[in-house]
Amino acid sequence: MLKVAVTSNIGRRWMSTGMKSSGLFFRQLFDTVSSTYTYLLGDMNTGEAVLIDPVLEHAERDAGLIKELGFKLLYAMNTHMHADHVTGTGRLKSLIPGSKSVIGKASGAQADIHLADRQKVQFGGQEILAVSTPGHTNGCMTYICHQQGIAFTGDTLLIRGCGRTDFQEGSPEKLYKSVHEKIFTLPGHYTLYPAHDYKGQTATSVDEEKKYNPRLTKTLPEFIDIMNNLNLPYPKMIDKAVPANRVCGLY
Ligand SMILES: N[C@@H](CCC(=O)N[C@@H](CSS)C(=O)NCC(=O)O)C(=O)O
């Protein structure tokens, strides 16, 4: 018995690091330049892993962590075609041979796997349900892990905010419908992880956003008015990021 336990701890290098319940390894990583969150999820029984929204400049960091912890990266996934940074998915494919790039079909971007609405992605005993949540862009997906009670909302829903809707097929009507019908209908205790935060916050919950989101608690006409008057400057990297992200960041 003792020998089995020792062998298993040596084989599983991720056992001593941060983790959530039910056999899922979870790590939130950050890019300070674009304020982007990248998420590493790993099945602790098989070691199979996925990475959500990697940033090109951190591909070596992410690949190093994955290798150090002994995970096998199956998929480098984008929630959508980003406009503010170049995706690391293409670079990760060459750093970790055998891994595949993933994005929503409606994004129009190149990738190994194009997800349709409600398509499932498996890694070990874990499952991600990809749900189409257009509005910030047409191809936006929210990745839901029902087993863990967590969802990765990309730029569709940010903490006390949401993705802008003034470029890349953005539509306030579509975003409002996506959030109310696909995210706010999840169980209230689900933890939500966005692709960005500009104030140092890391996560939220369905119940919190239903109660406190200053945009999405409004009526649709009020929401449209807010979104049409954000007057945000275009992301600094947009002219480089969008063409690069059409080809997995390998422009
Ligand atoms: N200043 C940043 C871009 C900030 C920005 O526009 N963020 C986007 C998500 S990345 S396209 C957004 O939707 N923001 C919503 C909001 O209310 O802030 C840069 O130059 O990169």
pTM: 0.94
pLDDT tens per residue, the chain (251 residues)? Answer: 333 333 333 345 555 444 445 799 999 999 999 999 999 999 999 999 999 999 999 999 999 999 999 999 999 999 999 999 999 999 999 999 999 999 999 999 999 999 999 999 999 999 999 999 999 999 999 999 999 999 999 999 999 999 999 999 999 999 999 999 999 999 999 999 999 999 999 999 999 999 999 999 999 999 999 999 999 999 999 999 999 999 999 87
164 Cβ inside 6 Å of ligand 1: yes
236 Cβ inside 6 Å of ligand 1: yes
Instruction: Check: CB of residue 51 under 8 Å from CB of residue 38.
Output: yes
235 Cβ inside 6 Å of ligand 1: yes
Element (H or E) spanning 243, and its range?
Answer: helix 238-246
155 Cβ inside 6 Å of ligand 1: yes
Closest C-alpha residue for ligand 1 atom 13 = 163
Report the separation in Å between the CA atom of 229 and the middle of ligand 1, taken as the mean of its atom positions: 14
Report the separation in Å between the CA atom of 233 and the middle of ligand 1, taken as the mean of its atom positions: 8
Question: What CA–CA distance (Å, rounded) separates 193 from 79?
Answer: 11
Question: What CA–CA distance (Å, rounded) separates 130 from 118?
Answer: 5
149 Cβ inside 6 Å of ligand 1: no
Question: What CA–CA distance (Å, rounded) separates 104 from 178?
Answer: 15
**Pocket residue to mutate for ligand 1, from 78, 136, 164, most atoms within 8 A of Cβ:** 164
- List the one residue out of 34, 38, 35, 37 whose CA is nearest residue 49: 38
Q: Which atom of ligand 1 is nearest to the CA of 236?
A: 20
Question: What CA–CA distance (Å, rounded) separates 178 from 157?
Answer: 9
